[in-house]
Amino acid sequence: MRGKIAVEEHFVTPELKDTIFGSIGWKQEEWTAMADALQETGEVRLADMDAAGIEIAAVSLAAPCIQDIVDPAEATAKAADANDALADAVRAHPDRYVGLAALALQDPGAAAGELERCVNELGFRGALVNGYSSVGGLGTARYYDEEAYLPFWERVAALGVPFYLHPRNPLPTERRYYEGREALLGPTWAFTVETATHCQRMMVSGLFDRFPELQIVIGHMGELLPFAVERTEQRLSHIPSVTLERGPAEVLRENFFITTSGNFHTPSLLGAMLQVGADRILFAADYPFERTAEAAEWFDTVPISAADRRKIGRDNAARLLGIDIGAGVS
């Protein structure tokens, strides 16, 4: 399928390249090649998209970057600089890229202001944030179900743009699970556990009862939530202290979009479609951490209907991100 829109494709600025996550076991030359690929937004990246039939990429800052900067003022300033750099890349190729804002949620008020600037002045289509934000030290975390974030979510809802919750590793103090088995950190397993739990916190907090119009995007075929949410809801129904207008399963279907980034597995896609519907799934490759060609070859031949392929590959993203598209599909 040509004309795809890929919604989780990353970049980094030279100033932030030393903060990107390196997978366990990477050699120095592999890390250097990844950092180089993240900084390049011209001919090489565009050729990779062309070969995979990707017309438009929603570009966002790699992980953990801003979320790992423990001083709120520094994080806020560096997020703004990264957003300005991304805006330059989008302006250079306005028919190929749209931007998702980096936000320093170490300071919720400043993050709300930066999102508004990015949407109203830079033309960005939403935000992507790399998990919890560290404040004061790497052993602390701010999770976004906390009361202090309600004004931020109110601003997101008012702007009408999606918020992509991207993974990061769990706190260093919470990695006892992985001692001696560090290969399970990062995208192998820990990213999924961390992000799915963060989403569950937001669901159980009642955030989506307060702001039913919020739209959250999560990658990697939903971080296992489509396959676990009914069990969660069934058990929550036995806990009197949890009172929600809508349970997690309904919230997942109405307030979340799921992307295929880095999880090119047909049974998982079919299961996610059964749980949330084809209207709630988006194509993504996770460039350059995953091979774009692998993502596209799998998606272009996965056994789903032509109508669902177009929805997932293009139309859902265009609707969510406000991208004006023509036919553009073959």
Q: What pLDDT digit, counting tens, does each position of 228-238 carry?
A: 999 999 999 99
The CA distance from 330 to 327, in Å, is 9
Amino acid at 111: A
Amino acid at 277: G
Question: What residues are annotated to the active site?
Answer: 286
Give alpha helix (H) positions in the chain.
Answer: 28-39, 43-51, 72-92, 108-120, 150-159, 190-204, 207-210, 225-236, 248-255, 266-276, 292-301, 306-310, 316-321
The CA distance from 161 to 155, in Å, is 10
The CA distance from 12 to 17, in Å, is 6
- For residue 141, give both structure tokens: 């975390």
Residue-range domain boundaries for the chain: 4-321
The CA distance from 94 to 88, in Å, is 10
For residue 27, pLDDT over 90 is answered with: no
The CA distance from 4 to 67, in Å, is 30
Q: What is the DSSP letter of 101?
A: B
The CA distance from 253 to 275, in Å, is 8
In the predicted model, what is the mean pLDDT of residues 207-228? 98
Q: Which helix (H) or strand (E) holds 216?
A: strand 216-218
DSSP calls for 234-296? HHHTT-TT---SS-HHHHHHHHEEEE-TT---HHHHHHHHHHH-GGGEE----TTTS-HHHHH
Q: Which pLDDT does position 23 carry in this prediction? A: 58
For residue 50, the SS3 value is helix
For residue 213, pLDDT over 90 is answered with: yes
Question: Would you say domain 4-321 falls under CATH 3.40.50.300?
Answer: no
The structure's pTM equals 0.96
Q: Which pLDDT does position 21 carry in this prediction? A: 76
- For residue 248, give both structure tokens: 């997690």
Show the CA angle centred on residue 187, arms to residues 181 and 190, nearest 5°. 55
Q: What is the pLDDT of residues 225-271, one digit of tens each?
A: 999 999 999 999 999 999 999 999 999 999 999 999 999 999 999 99
Quick one: pLDDT band at residue 19, thresholds 50, 70, 90?
Answer: confident
